[in-house]
Chain A
Amino acid sequence: MTNTIADIEEADVILITGSNTTENHPVLSSFVKRAVKFRGAKLILVDPRRIKIAAYAHQWLRQNLGADVAWINGMMNVIIEEDLYDKTFVAERTEGFEEMKKVVEKFTPEYVEGISGIPAQQIIDAARMYAAAEKGTILYCMGITQHITGTDNVKSLANLAMLCGNMGIRGGGVNPLRGQNNVQGACDMGGLPNVFTAYQPVNNPDAVKKMEQNWGVSGISDKVGLKVTEMIPKAHSGELKALYIIGENPLVSDPDLNHAEASFKHLDFLVVQDIFMTETAQLADVVLPSACFAEKEGTFSNTERRVQRVRKAVEPPGEAKDDWWITWEIARRMGHETDQYTDSQKIFEEIRKVTPSYAGITYERIEVEGLHWPCPTTEHPGTPILHIGQFPKGRGTFHAIDYIQPAEQTDDEYPLYLTTGRVLYQYHTGTMTRKTQGLNEREGESFVEITPRDADRLKIEDGAMVEISSRRGAIQARIKISDKAVDGTVFIPFHFAEAAANRLTNAALDPVSGIPEYKVCAVKVSAAA
């Protein structure tokens, strides 16, 4: 997030898109609801489902799946056409406005209606509402990123925010809501194929040298590595021989699971380190038991870049160990004897040395309340809001982005769209939440959310078992007729391994981010055999 969670309550207008906020970020959604209920903020929701937060929205725009670039360009078209944009901000802080304007010109509300299914007038109204805000914030989640145009979608939202001068101010910003406790930290720490810690590029010779010096090694690769979604096909083709997976369950969370499963089986050697015998661990050659969050010391970085302490409350079960200990024991046994670590704090001290944005953060400083990176020195108060006065590279760039349709369309054989996501009572692949009986009692099995009309057309009753199939696979689940659904589109949560929605999803990737298009594929629904 460019801004903080608390900042949401200061916004005049909140634009939420591709985030089922009340179910996936319930505590954060309270900040939105309070802003609307008590501070008079206006809420615009753009989402293909009538999710709960829609009840608080002043405008709900229902776009066709994958039509995000179109409606965002459409809003910008209106804002430019009606001269509602922030000319000072555009002139002083940005570049590329004219090129962007040229592309946006054809995205008239009527043209956008044809692509997105959003009535032209709604686009005009939403554009006016967002542009009128002194402080407008944009909140988004995987509904924006999990498309082949995910990167385009995010850049388009940044365009919109810059156009209205909503960057670098309280109550503004472009704010991705991170779905996992430490996805921010995993990125910050260089858990990515193209960057070291703090996003220092691996193909920058200075960065490579810096790491070699600090780590006392030579020969660090300056070649960008494989993304997870590239590793799977390489495993399938036999180029990738060994895979070491820590705390992930790709055999439920990956797209096109049937293909992923076959790929994993091609590996010579698979090591899985986890707290449970997950679907992925069952395929492993060696399984290593690790301690869970309640059993270890360390830090997580939340969605607002706040680095916070994790503390040990109980002992890990049996022989389970801290993940860092296990990984570094393997290193030691491979003959890497330098750098022995005694505890997480010692590792954190090393992180500070090679990670400019974390250099000023210490365990002592975050004992009571976490700090937002960048925090370059121990005197620095942290940076709750990014891009105040200036962007890191000087001016913010408008990107001229055209609309591309999703990788898969419905047809006669697969006439319905499928989109996937989470429900309130379960989490990701369910390895943790499904251990709590009460959560299962509330929502314990997969379902296909469908409109009454679609169900009627298919002659299927509420609660009936159906088979849902795509070009890649088939699963069975119960029909749930719901007013959250919209005609022509069904929704299935991906938590449940036994009816894994990802057997159906499409592994088509965003060319830049490598994110699969989980949010759009074509399916058919029929009565279970």
Chain B
Amino acid sequence: MDNGNMIIINGNEIPFEPGETILQAAQRKSIEIPTLCYLKGASPTGECRMCVVEVEGARNLVASCAAPAGKGMVVHTESPRVVEARRLLLKLLLSSGNHNCAVRKSDDQDWTGFQLSVQKEDSSAELCPAWGDCKLQNLAYQYQVTGEQFPRTETPYPMETVNPFIVRDFSRCIKCGRCVQACCDIQVNDAISFGYRGSNTKVIAAGDRPLKDSDCVFCGECVQACPVATLMEKDARYRIRPWETEKVRTTCSYCGVGCQLNLHVKEGEVVQVTGVEEIAPNYGSLCVKGRFGFNFINAPDRLKSPMIKKEDGTFREASWDEALDLVAEKFKAVRDDHGPDAFGLLTSARVTNEENYIAQKFARAVMKTNNVDHCARL
């Protein structure tokens, strides 16, 4: 990069590639510009205006997610003008629905009334289900704003719960459009879009039908993209708070794509799965099986003990010692009495490399046969 392609953000000279936005240049240097609607991998919509910055010489504030960085541009990301604009936006958003995160003035009367009205619509006495995992809440704290300055706007749309996986709570929608982009620009399932107009704007599926009757394939990309509490996993909503869980990163065990996912563990149980963002091969995306098909891990009918078949054909539980000794004895007898090739081993495309290696080593080094295969063909 030559010296010409430099932008100055908050006094720091930052080189940029032609075509890069102000936001991208800033992010590369870890300068935080708040965003709500910006979704990496999709084209910026400039919908939320949260990322506005002040560019010297420009009359209006500029949406940094969409504005390209320019040679010699001098940018302020937290100037008083910028902060004032963001505070106003946040106040409007906070007043626009059921944002009962207690980011409000300590006026008991008003809070109680507000909380009760939310409870009526969401049948929970708890604070917002996204509490502690909400971009809007974080920004409200950061900019120290509350939601009562403007009259509360009612949402005309009821909650949708008629599918097994995703709850759509329109009362908490900030219309940032990330879900629409996640669906149409990232996963390209084209199941949802903005419908109606003005203050009636709603994210709709297939002519405003429930997700289950639309093209939705329940990949949950929209849930992961939602910055607030509008779209949440049905089983996790209200039941799992982020501070109660520990995240363990691993590789999905379904198809061969090898999606990187986070297992969210609460009290020794996997209770939620999310995609690992910005890492190959899936860059945060998952499918319905990877995101929602984890119940088998903790299924009550998991095998818990070695089992040996009795004379009558039923099984009895056995200790590891008994079961392993029996297997070792029988395998040894087959090898020694009938020859190594009377034994076969089917290893598994489901288990790890290390386990496959040990399995074939067992067949070859211990049983002395190459009768080892797995279900690649099936």
Give chain A residues whose Cβ lies under 8 Å from the Cβ of B375.
180, 183, 228, 248, 250, 253
Query: Would you call A231 an interface residue if the criterion is a C-beta within 8 Å of the partner chain's C-beta atoms?
Result: yes
Report yes or no: B255 in contact with A181, Cβ–Cβ below 8 A: yes
Report yes or no: B349 in contact with A323, Cβ–Cβ below 8 A: no
Report yes or no: B268 in contact with A314, Cβ–Cβ below 8 A: yes
Give chain A residues whose Cβ lies under 8 Å from the Cβ of B255.
24-25, 177-181, 303, 427
Query: Would you call B95 an interface residue if the criterion is a C-beta within 8 Å of the partner chain's C-beta atoms?
Result: no
What's the minimum C-beta distance from A55 to chain B, rounded to whole angstroms?
9
Query: Would you call A121 an interface residue if the criterion is a C-beta within 8 Å of the partner chain's C-beta atoms?
Result: no
Of A224, A314, A326, A347, the contact of B270 (CB 8 Å cutoff): A314
Give chain B residues whose Cβ lies under 8 Å from the Cβ of A191.
347-349, 356, 359-360, 372-374, 376
Which one, A164-172, A293-301, A392-400, is touching chain B?
A293-301
Report yes or no: B293 in contact with A190, Cβ–Cβ below 8 A: no
Report yes or no: B256 in contact with A227, Cβ–Cβ below 8 A: no
Which partner residue on chain A sits nearest B377 by CB separation?
A515
Of A248, A304, A435, the contact of B296 (CB 8 Å cutoff): A435
Which has the most chain A C-beta neighbours within 10 Å: B218, B327, B366?
Answer: B327
- The verdict on A193 contacting B331 (CB below 8 Å), with A185-B353, A301-B353, A327-B359 known, is no
Query: Would you call B351 an interface residue if the criterion is a C-beta within 8 Å of the partner chain's C-beta atoms?
Result: yes
Chain B interface main SS type: mixed
Which one, A65-73, A101-109, A112-120, A213-221, is touching chain B?
A213-221
Report A332-348 CB contacts with B as 1/0, cut-off 8 Å: 01111000010010011
Query: Would you call B5 an interface residue if the criterion is a C-beta within 8 Å of the partner chain's C-beta atoms?
Result: no
Query: Would you call A315 an interface residue if the criterion is a C-beta within 8 Å of the partner chain's C-beta atoms?
Result: yes
Distance of A320 Cα from B346 Cα, bound (Å): 19
Give chain A residues whose Cβ lies under 8 Å from the Cβ of B280.
4-6, 306, 369-370
Give chain A residues whose Cβ lies under 8 Å from the Cβ of B309.
284-286
Query: Would you call A404 an interface residue if the criterion is a C-beta within 8 Å of the partner chain's C-beta atoms?
Result: no
Query: Would you call B252 an interface residue if the criterion is a C-beta within 8 Å of the partner chain's C-beta atoms?
Result: yes
Distance of A425 Cα from B332 Cα, bound (Å): 42
Report yes or no: A244 in contact with B343, Cβ–Cβ below 8 A: yes
Give chain A residues whose Cβ lies under 8 Å from the Cβ of B104.
none
Query: Would you call B76 an interface residue if the criterion is a C-beta within 8 Å of the partner chain's C-beta atoms?
Result: no
Report yes or no: A26 in contact with B217, Cβ–Cβ below 8 A: yes
Of A6, A246, A281, A425, the contact of B347 (CB 8 Å cutoff): A246
Give chain B residues whose Cβ lies under 8 Å from the Cβ of A224.
370
Report yes or no: B354 in contact with A347, Cβ–Cβ below 8 A: yes
Report yes or no: B344 in contact with A180, Cβ–Cβ below 8 A: no
Report yes or no: A182 in contact with B351, Cβ–Cβ below 8 A: yes
Of B186, B285, B353, the contact of A348 (CB 8 Å cutoff): B353
Query: Would you call B22 an interface residue if the criterion is a C-beta within 8 Å of the partner chain's C-beta atoms?
Result: no
Report yes or no: A246 in contact with B330, Cβ–Cβ below 8 A: no
Of A185, A226, A276, A322, the contact of B302 (CB 8 Å cutoff): A276
Query: Would you call B59 an interface residue if the criterion is a C-beta within 8 Å of the partner chain's C-beta atoms?
Result: no
Which partner residue on chain B sits nearest A510 by CB separation?
B377
Query: Would you call A310 an interface residue if the criterion is a C-beta within 8 Å of the partner chain's C-beta atoms?
Result: yes
What's the minimum C-beta distance from A211 to chain B, rounded to whole angstroms?
7
Give chain B residues whose Cβ lies under 8 Å from the Cβ of A319.
304-306, 320
Give chain A residues whose Cβ lies under 8 Å from the Cβ of B31.
none
Which partner residue on chain B sits nearest A289 by CB separation?
B303
Report yes or no: B372 in contact with A225, Cβ–Cβ below 8 A: yes
Query: Would you call B254 an interface residue if the criterion is a C-beta within 8 Å of the partner chain's C-beta atoms?
Result: yes
Distance of A26 Cα from B248 Cα, bound (Å): 23
Which partner residue on chain A sits nearest B290 by CB separation?
A27
Which partner residue on chain A sits nearest B317 by CB separation?
A319
Report yes or no: A34 in contact with B188, Cβ–Cβ below 8 A: yes
Distance of A424 Cα from B322 Cα, bound (Å): 41
What's the minimum C-beta distance from A360 to chain B, rounded to whole angstroms?
15
Give chain B residues whose Cβ lies under 8 Å from the Cβ of A301.
258, 353
Which one, A194-202, A449-457, A476-484, is touching chain B?
A194-202
Report B206-246 CB contacts with A as 1/0, cut-off 8 Å: 00000000000111000000000000001000000000000
Of B253, B304, B331, the contact of A293 (CB 8 Å cutoff): B253
Query: Would you call B165 an interface residue if the criterion is a C-beta within 8 Å of the partner chain's C-beta atoms?
Result: yes
Q: How large is the interface on A (under 10, 10 to 19, 20 to 34, 35 or more residues)?
A: 35 or more
Report A18-54 CB contacts with B as 1/0, cut-off 8 Å: 0000101111101001100110000000000000000
Question: From residue 293 to 327 of chain B, which have CB atoms closer than 8 A to chain A?
Answer: 293-299, 301-309, 315, 318, 320, 323-327
Report yes or no: B257 in contact with A241, Cβ–Cβ below 8 A: no
What's the minimum C-beta distance from A289 to chain B, rounded to whole angstroms?
4
What's the minimum C-beta distance from A193 to chain B, rounded to whole angstroms?
5
Report yes or no: B358 in contact with A347, Cβ–Cβ below 8 A: yes
Give chain A residues whose Cβ lies under 8 Å from the Cβ of B302.
275-276, 289, 292, 317-318, 320
Which one, B109-117, B118-126, B168-176, B259-267, is touching chain A?
B259-267
- The verdict on A315 contacting B268 (CB below 8 Å), with A25-B255, A178-B255, A308-B260 known, is yes
Report yes or no: A341 in contact with B358, Cβ–Cβ below 8 A: yes
What's the minimum C-beta distance from A325 to chain B, rounded to whole angstroms?
9
Report yes or no: B377 in contact with A513, Cβ–Cβ below 8 A: yes
Of A30, A328, A433, A439, the contact of B362 (CB 8 Å cutoff): A328
Report yes or no: B281 in contact with A436, Cβ–Cβ below 8 A: no
Report yes or no: A181 in contact with B254, Cβ–Cβ below 8 A: yes
Give chain B residues whose Cβ lies under 8 Å from the Cβ of A380.
none
Query: Would you call A59 an interface residue if the criterion is a C-beta within 8 Å of the partner chain's C-beta atoms?
Result: no
Distance of A235 Cα from B269 Cα, bound (Å): 40
Of B218, B234, B286, B296, the contact of A431 (CB 8 Å cutoff): B296
Report B155-166 CB contacts with A as 1/0, cut-off 8 Å: 000000001110
What's the minimum C-beta distance from A321 to chain B, rounded to whole angstroms?
7
Report yes or no: A276 in contact with B352, Cβ–Cβ below 8 A: no
Report yes or no: A432 in contact with B296, Cβ–Cβ below 8 A: yes
Distance of A335 Cα from B363 Cα, bound (Å): 14
Report A344-387 CB contacts with B as 1/0, cut-off 8 Å: 10011011000000000000000011100000000000000000
Give chain A residues whose Cβ lies under 8 Å from the Cβ of B186.
30, 34
Query: Would you call A438 an interface residue if the criterion is a C-beta within 8 Å of the partner chain's C-beta atoms?
Result: yes
Distance of A329 Cα from B366 Cα, bound (Å): 12
What's the minimum C-beta distance from A225 to chain B, rounded to whole angstroms?
3
Report yes or no: A243 in contact with B344, Cβ–Cβ below 8 A: yes
Report yes or no: A331 in contact with B362, Cβ–Cβ below 8 A: yes
Give chain A residues whose Cβ lies under 8 Å from the Cβ of B296.
275-276, 292, 431-433, 435-436
Distance of A82 Cα from B289 Cα, bound (Å): 45
Report yes or no: B279 in contact with A220, Cβ–Cβ below 8 A: no
Which partner residue on chain B sits nearest A5 by CB separation?
B281
Report yes or no: B360 in contact with A231, Cβ–Cβ below 8 A: no
Give chain A residues whose Cβ lies under 8 Å from the Cβ of B281.
4-6, 27, 302, 304, 306
- The verdict on A286 contacting B342 (CB below 8 Å), with A181-B255, A306-B280 known, is no
- The verdict on A189 contacting B301 (CB below 8 Å), with A244-B344, A334-B332 known, is no
What's the minimum C-beta distance from B365 to chain A, rounded to whole angstroms?
5
Which has the most chain B C-beta neighbours within 10 Å: A314, A344, A431?
Answer: A314
Distance of A246 Cα from B338 Cα, bound (Å): 22
Report yes or no: B254 in contact with A427, Cβ–Cβ below 8 A: yes
Query: Would you call B62 an interface residue if the criterion is a C-beta within 8 Å of the partner chain's C-beta atoms?
Result: no
Report yes or no: B359 in contact with A5, Cβ–Cβ below 8 A: no
What's the minimum C-beta distance from A421 to chain B, rounded to whole angstroms?
13
Give chain B residues whose Cβ lies under 8 Å from the Cβ of A290.
303, 351
Query: Would you call A242 an interface residue if the criterion is a C-beta within 8 Å of the partner chain's C-beta atoms?
Result: yes
Give chain B residues whose Cβ lies under 8 Å from the Cβ of A292.
253, 296-297, 302
What's the minimum C-beta distance from B306 to chain A, rounded to whole angstroms?
5
Distance of A319 Cα from B285 Cα, bound (Å): 34
Question: From residue 484 to 516 of chain A, which have CB atoms closer than 8 A to chain B?
Answer: 513-516
- The verdict on A194 contacting B353 (CB below 8 Å), with A180-B255, A220-B365 known, is no
Query: Would you call B378 an interface residue if the criterion is a C-beta within 8 Å of the partner chain's C-beta atoms?
Result: yes
Cβ contacts A to B, 28 pairs, < 8 Å: A4-B280, A28-B257, A33-B187, A180-B255, A181-B253, A181-B350, A183-B375, A186-B348, A189-B356, A191-B374, A220-B365, A231-B346, A250-B378, A276-B302, A289-B303, A294-B263, A294-B294, A294-B297, A306-B280, A314-B263, A314-B268, A317-B302, A319-B305, A323-B359, A334-B331, A424-B217, A437-B164, A439-B288
Q: Which 3 A-B pairs have the closest CB atoms?
A: A318-B304, A302-B258, A178-B256
Query: Given A27-B282, A320-B303, 5 other A-B contacts at CB below 8 A?
Result: A6-B281, A37-B188, A182-B350, A324-B359, A341-B358
